[in-house]
Amino acid sequence: MKIATIIISMIGMAGCANKDGLPSGILRANQMQAVLWDVIRAETYTAQYIKKDSLKNADLENAKLQQQIFATHNISREDFYDSYQYYNKHTELMRILLDSITTRGERERYTTLYSKRSEVKTFSLMPLPPEPPVLPIPTFKPITVPITDSTQKSTHKFLPVPVP
């Protein structure tokens, strides 16, 4: 009876184990990828735009953006940084994570550069010339007209004659 209880409890504990092999409190790879992607984009935005504005504190703005990112993904700052440290210690997992983020960035850059853009109309102060009038296309109706040919005395051939 004791052996059956031990076996059942071991099966129960194996069923409750984390299937990713990650400790509790560590973000799964796909969630960590999404959060890290947003954090990298926020840091890039801060470096390229906010730091150039002398009226704004870049570190404070970056912290605000990170809080918005964490709220969007329903995680805490501690969850993210604990997961980040875990992935840093496990270089193979971090390499896979960064490869997928790099691929995503390249894909977005490619679609941005090579997507079909709507044609932008230019603005000019000069008036545009009027549209040329649409000319009717003449239609021809074949009719039989007697034509004399030098080799034959009299034949009938079709000639195109415009229809009024």
Cβ(67)–Cβ(59) below 8 Å: no
Residue 25, pLDDT score: 86
Q: Tens of pLDDT along 99-120?
A: 999 999 999 888 888 876 666 6
Sequence ranges of the domains in the chain: 22-113
**What is the rounded average pLDDT for all residues in the chain?**
78
Residue 132, pLDDT score: 78
pLDDT band (50, 70, 90) for residue 65 = very high
pLDDT band (50, 70, 90) for residue 55 = confident
Whether the CA torsion 106, 107, 112, 117 is positive or negative: it is positive
Q: Which residues contact 113 (CB under 8 A, 6 or more apart)?
A: none
Of 27 and 126, the structure prediction assigns the larger pLDDT to 27
Query: What average pLDDT does this structure show over 48-58?
Result: 84
Round to whole Å and give the CA distance between 42 and 44: 5
